Amino acid sequence: MPALDWARDALFLDIDGTIVDIAPTPEAVVVPESLKLSLSRIRKNLGGALALISGRTLQSIDELFAPLKFAAAGAHGAEVRYEPNGPVERCAVPLTSAERAAIALVAKRDPRLRLEDKGYSMAVHYRSAPDLKDIVIATVRDEVAKLGENLRVLRGKMVVEVKAGGFNKGIGLKRLMGHAPFLGRRPIFLGDDVTDEDAVAAVRDFSGVGISVGRSLPGATERVDSPAEVRAWLAHLGGRNSS
């Protein structure tokens, strides 16, 4: 894992599967208090240049890390907040009612499937029904094809998600990099899933570093095995002072 230069680096972190362990449902995820403390200390040492990049909405991120708030790109970059308590920039148009209804029908095929409506995207989780993976993916693709619109199907860990084109985690990261305190720094991004590949690609435009967690992401120059290892690294960084 790279050493951070407090004066020159910026740290961008995916959440689920990267700094916290995957849970049966998004609501079941628990953020350890020790992780909150580490992130708070690192942010201070970086002069505020720490942000979360997630498929979660900003509301969900805030609930997860309460009482802390962070600069963040939420909903795959559809929502961007440049300062912890700053205004939210909406960078995308929410899905239409017809689009949302079409994907909602997929989740009704089996009671073990869980629908997550993020406004800008719709996710169908099949963690409780892994045997339905192929059916869920195929059905979602069929529904998207019927809509005939600019929609993108994202496959993640036990989830398939539908969103419009024009925004992603990489674009969200670039937006953050255009504002203080991130402007002019070297971005270091950690992610674990297919949806993080855009962010890994984006950091290269700033001579940054992409680090994959648990699996190898294209373009990532480093890899660690688990969120637990990432938390240990963050705890180590958080134990250092700015001197």
Known catalytic residues are 14
Which structure tokens are listed for 36? 């909150």
Which structure tokens are listed for 225? 């095995």
Residues for the chain: how many in total? 243
Cα–Cα distance between 54 and 239 in angstroms, integer? 25
98-122 burial, b if ≥16 CB within 10 A, otherwise e? ebbebbeebbeeeeebbebebbbbb
In terms of Cα–Cα distance, which of 224, 167, 164 is closest to 199?
Answer: 167
Sign of CA dihedral 111, 112, 113, 114: positive
Question: CB–CB of 25/157 below 8 Å?
Answer: no
